[in-house]
Amino acid sequence: MNDLITERETLEERYLRQIFIRDQMAEFAKDPFVMTGADGIYYTDIDGKRYLDAIAGIFVASVGHGNRRVIDAIKVQLDTMAFAPVMHGTNALAIQLANKLAEIAPGNINSVKFCSGGSEANETAFKMARQYHKLNGHPNKYKIISRYQSWHGGTFAALSASGLTSRRVDSEPLAAGFIHVFPPYCYRCPFGKEYPSCDLTCAGLIEDTILMEDPETVAAVIVEPIGHTGGIIDPPSEYLPQLRELCNRHNVLLIFDEIITGMGRTGEMFAADTFGVVPDLICLGKGISGGYMPLSAVLCQRQIADKFWGDKTINPGFVSGHTYEANPIACAAGLATIGEIIEKDLCSNTRKIGNYLREGLERLRKHGIIGDIRGKGLFLGVEFVRNPASKEKFENDIPIGTLIGKRALTKGLLTRYDPHWMSLGPPLILTQEQADDIISILDDCIAEVLDEINT
């Protein structure tokens, strides 16, 4: 084949046969979506068409594409050392990044285990929770409680914890010891109740589940502070504090999967800060390195880390790791990305522009198909309905979110869409003018799609 694929003519179907993507491949090959460049909040595809990236790749490009500071830090590190031996110790950049994370993390969360991707981080958190309980005299605590509709990753334990049926069934049977509970989806409460008179049945049932399973067998509860895959499941303010309390009562560790919500996305460095709750472990990925290198991390409270520092005769340490953990180039990217978020105060930009973008979404209610707008900071989602008053959904043969999302792509706007909802998660450097562009394109797309389905 040609050395370089630079334009559509060079993209013959036989080349596409050599690669698996995450979607239906035959469909993809009909009109392949192939990117060749990125700058700021824009992507360029193989035809030279520009896209406003309203989803930061996939919640990754936190500081935007082509960020000079991150690129330069990576270049310097490439010239210095690309890989350090992981079986013997670590590298200087990893120690620096761990200390930076410890400094900015909430409460006494101040120890860090690095990995390369979000699934790896969650797997590592499960193993850390189980081994912690063993070292702490509770060897039978192994079960992990998680929520339906959640996504914690595609590797086996992360997938077992995930609650998204459509992504689980093809890989079943999954690992044992993972138990699912219903999420705090207030717009369509799984218990048919209304907030606040519901008294947070969804949180109460997590405690009931721990009791029914026997607390002496439960290691941890894992939640995304704001769930993405169910359609931006943003819990009522009491939900996470209640989880914190019930986990404390039963000596169960609380894990926040902040792979999406971490590193400024909700308007604070961690969603734990946004909700004012300190979990026992936080998993970070995606935006931690701005998309410049694969990097993820598990952060844990001091008292958990302390258990792994005991005498060698009774304590093997945390025997878990991956070849590319704490890769020095990835750590350089992480340090530069965090530096950029802090020095440019991107958390306050996220709060400010997040509110502005949300106001824009509110204006789109005029089309009469927006049932709910959810999320925090620059992590926002819209649930589409046939009738906002009754919350009636669109018929199955009208996947309204997908129709609008695909229409947006034709107009150069990248979002994350599903048959009934759409989410936005642009780079944290978004400006008001760019937010206006997002809303204006969505406005046109909704009008056009409604025109089509109503004629």
Q: Supply the minimum distance, in Å, between the C-beta of residue 224 and ligand PLP.
A: 5
Report the residue number, 43 or 151, with the smaller CB distance to ligand PLP: 151
Nearer to ligand PLP by Cβ, of 77 and 149: the residue is 149
Closest separation in Å from C-beta 401 to ligand PLP: 18
CB closer to ligand PLP out of 118 and 401: 118
Q: How far is the CB of 291 from ligand PLP (least distance, A)?
A: 11
The least distance separating ligand PLP from the CB of residue 149, rounded to whole angstroms, comes to 11
Smallest separation (angstroms) from ligand PLP to the CB of 155: 7
Query: Which residue's Cβ has the minimum distance to ligand PLP?
Result: 118
Q: How far is the CB of 389 from ligand PLP (least distance, A)?
A: 32
Q: State the CB neighbour count (10 A cutoff) for residue 18.
A: 7
The tokens of 227 are what?
């769930």
Task: Select 200 or 223, whichever has its Cβ closest to ligand PLP.
Answer: 223
- Minimum CB distance to ligand PLP smaller for 291 or for 360: 291
The 3-state secondary structure of the chain reads CCCCCCCHHHCCHHHHCCCCCCCCHHHHHHCCCCEEEEEECEEEECCCCEEEECCHHHHCCCCCECCHHHHHHHHHHHHHCCCCCCCCCCCHHHHHHHHHHHHHCCCCEEEEEEECCHHHHHHHHHHHHHHHHHHCCCCCCCEEEEECCCCCCCCHHHHHHCCCHHHHHHHCCCCCCEEEECCCCHHHCCCCCCCCCCCCHHHHHHHHHHHHHCHHHEEEEEECCCECCCCCECCCCCHHHHHHHHHHHCCCEEEEECCCCCCCCCCCCCHHHHHCCCCCEEEECHHHHCCCCCCEEEEEEHHHHHHCCCCCCCCCCCCCCCCCCCCHHHHHHHHHHHHHHHHCCHHHHHHHHHHHHHHHHHHHHHHCCEEEEEEECCEEEEEECCECCCCECCCCCCCHHHHHHHHHHHCCEECEECCCEEEECCCCCCCHHHHHHHHHHHHHHHHHHHHHHHC
- Please say which residue, 162 or 301, places its beta carbon nearer to ligand PLP: 162
**Shortest gap between Cβ of 14 and ligand PLP (angstroms)?**
29
Closer residue to ligand PLP in complex, CB, 301/423: 423
**Residue number, 259 or 404, with CB nearest to ligand PLP:** 259
Which residues bind to ligand PLP, rule: CB under 6 A? Answer: 117-119, 122, 151-153, 224, 228, 257, 259-260, 285
Beta carbon nearer to ligand PLP, 285 or 290: 285
Q: How far is the CB of 365 from ligand PLP (least distance, A)?
A: 27
Shortest reach from residue 280's CB to ligand PLP, in Å: 17
